[in-house]
Structure 1
């Protein structure tokens, strides 16, 4: 019986990966293949490409923060340096006729990013915590400032541009269209994510978690915390450089913005928003942030205010990020009590969401009232046109917001009680068993 169970277990695994682990990768790959047939416009393809690049960069950053506990304020340096190197290689291919296929260009960016990480990590990874964070901030500011001085490499204020179509054709594809570039980016996304996941399963990846949680104990067991951090740092620099190479392929231009503090802060926000404690957390954060940046920014000038508020609320009330919120419901699901949360969620979350929309509407009206041109008193919100100089819209929005928040507050006690019961295993007597 034991032998039969062992054989069946081996049949359900592939190289140490169970079918439960392989299935999500297959499903996600299938979704990536189908997406261009659902969203066929060039703008949609551009957004999806940006989303894929951000996912690779966020996963690379999570190798530091989530797995190794190293908070970096300048990790955009490795993405930017890898991207700039790829732009120069792209120009060499064009003017020097170097026979390099375009799909190999991210490897160049990855190797250059890893080279930079090797140099910087040799002295920055001696310790973690505040010292590492300050060194990363200083290095980021130093290289960002050098971008306007070393014009030969960074191109000055105009940056460096190139043309991806001069690479060797691959199976007849010259990557002239957006959809060809999309599949190239999607392929690198799957490959990079898989390699980073496998790295997290290696002894170095697992020891990075131990060094993050208790470096003294890891050293007592005979592992060098510095070298574990160094290897993780170099691997993270490689995949950040891959993201830079994909950015160069997609947009064919890089500027100082690609390696400054703003980009480093954005990837920190994305990783925290998705959840640093989970491998798929940065993926969720990158998708949500890219949609907010590309879609919400077209609707309102205050989109950064809303993103910042979302980040603050996530850190304060959901430190596990959006992935943590999802994983919180695993226990109720396994206990068969997930359905009991539907009604309390509806009675609490729905009015809270309407209240948040009301608060955002108040901000929009206030912004329009303060900054609209003289004589432009009318504005449109949720398809309704009204005058911001009339007191009625202000009264309605403030009233709806306060009422919805009051309803959500009143029903929150029921939600907390139901949530507590949903996470407790019922006794046989409570379940109706004799």
Structure 2
């Protein structure tokens, strides 16, 4: 089997999970200047083609710095923020206009033998961001440097409903007709919060957030991020981590930091189990729940290898669809990583635990115990007093969890009549 086929099969649960979701993506000005920029555009087009609703926010710091330097204007900063006077504002407007055209042009490419061929995208920009002046801080008048006052959620959602990509530039407009220079990171954060976006994706130069030993941190909770923000101090990654953390605290479920310098970083982060950057999650991105009909494909992918090894009884898609309400699953980032089924046995107060399966990568993380506890809870709610399990290769696992050796004779007649003597499964039972 080719690597491509294997990757596509592994990515399919994520493709289904991301379809119809809203992503806000922050692309700093440094990324526009990087040789990998075209690949980033290709990746975004691919997301759009897979049904992801995209809001892009572009930065412009290096381009503004260059324009100011070319005009020999002396920049002024206070607390890390640019003071935007009228002369600098003219530079900002010129740079932002050029960058907007760059993005629109890149997203309009239709080159043969390229990822853009036949894309036919529509990109929408506009006055979706209302701004207000920062004002005077510590005696310093920031003039045309502003902050986000309001995001036009309805306007943006209307464009997304029309299958358009929305592009937001780092400018905001006041009700009095003024123009303000804004932080792209702030626009991305407030937009993600206002839209209650499914993801906020932030591009930075580095792969993600690294710990003191130089190891990539794959996942953080907002409360865990504080110490890393303090440690990174004025580094741009600290700005990204602060933005991601605040977004999660205000309702965005997940924010991800990836590298604009690495080809395909976004796709690896979104469509692989390992990811590629750093995920900041509002809560555990792993859930345990009862299965629905939409989970049949993921269940088949999980249990098929165990069926081929003879560990589990084979179940066709039709059988799974018919029995789907009996299944409990653990889902991680859109992928089913563990499952178990509870079958009440007719004319008895007994039930059968069946089809307990855990993805090999997670078999040492206690997923089986989580499922067993959930199945026992479900069984008790249904008035079941005894739980039976039939196993050919996992006897010790059940013995270690309080199941006792039993026999076919102990099974209720409705289940004993279906016992497969050719498989010769061992029978265990547990009073619950």
Structure number with larger C-alpha Rg: 2
Relative to the length of structure 1, the TM-score reads: 0.23
Normalized per residue, the structure richer in helix is 1
Normalized per residue, the structure richer in strand is 2
Instruction: Between the two structures, name the one with larger relative contact order (CA 8 Å, sep ≥ 6).
Output: 1
